[in-house]
Structure 1
């Protein structure tokens, strides 16, 4: 297995201070969530449809200090929720002690606002990378990381 790409390393490094995290839009690339779980973090990775690779990563993470759970959830619905759907989707034990950060990798513009709204609802930090050719459509601070990768901090 080769070295992770710079964008992945940059995002993991930026998220390292946070203990309890939610990844939005994990898709078929659970590498960041798995790397965080390997560092002892508790991660819940959500997507509209949970991929087999995300499920396999969650199973693999069970042997370490951290944890990785996957859940089928739509960030737009979670952002508009009163809290019950969040607890149902990602587990009451996951949000019971709070969430420190909501993050996404390659976050498309149309999902940036609901992702930030979810982080606000949970009183959590919000960090993400974009698809590269898109600029953020929400207010952000830019953190330059290795190899020119930019991690955006929305709150």
Structure 2
């Protein structure tokens, strides 16, 4: 698998400061998650139906940098309605080994950022709500022809790609 195209590289670069990430809607293109894992990041990528491409990328990810990529089946709209961040983490298989006395040591619940690439308008509110539940940053790109339907700031990359920051 080669490097991601310029629009995906812009997202990877914007996510570089974060150590533990969740990708919403990994679909059949796990290149952003894989690139982040190659940079030493811990990534959990999910979609309502996990594709073979995503499963293969997770299986093949063995990085000397210590990064990891796991994929799970989950629905962002369902996760966004869960009131307890611990329940969200449990549903995604995050932090189970980190729990001490029922709480994770990291106040952010072991997640620094929630992100999505090509995030359609109808999933933007749920994605931001998920990030809020986890007290994590939220960054995404859109399908290109859509404007965000949630409050954002914009980061323009040299490639012309705009990365939206919702929190």
Structure-2 separation of matches of 1:2 and 1:61:
13
Structure 2 equivalent of residue 149 of structure 1: 161
Distance in 2, Cα, partners of 1:114 & 1:72: 16
In structure 2, runs of 5+ residues without a counterpart are: 99-103
Query: Which structure is higher in helix share?
Result: 1
User: Runs of 4+ in structure 1 displaced over 6 angstroms?
Assistant: none
Tell me by how many angstroms 1:63 deviates: 4.3
Corresponding residue number in structure 2 for 1:34:
34
Give the structure-1-normalised TM-score: 0.94
TM normalised by structure 2 equals 0.87
1:7 aligns with 2:7: yes
Equivalent residue number for residue 134 of structure 1: 146
Name the SS of the counterpart of 1:62 in structure 2.
coil
Greater Cα shift, 51-60 or 86-95: 86-95
In the TM superposition, residue 19 of structure 1 has moved relative to its aligned partner by 0.1
CA RMSD of aligned residues (A): 1.6
Alignment length (residue pairs): 155
SS at match of 1:4: coil
Q: Partner of 2:52 in structure 1?
A: 52
Contact 2:18–2:113 (CA<8 Å) still a contact in 1? yes
Q: Give 1:73's aligned residue.
A: 74
Max Rg structure: 2
Partner of 2:62: helix, strand, or coil? Answer: helix
Consecutive unaligned residues of structure 1, counting only runs of 5 or more, are none
User: How far did 1:6 drift?
Assistant: 1.1
Structure 2 CA distance for partners of 1:144 and 1:124, relative to 1, 3 Å: same
Which of 123, 143, 161 is the matching residue for 1:111? Answer: 123
1:66-118, CA deviations, whole angstroms, 9 ceiling, x for partnerless residues? Answer: 00000100001111113354133211427844200000000000000000000
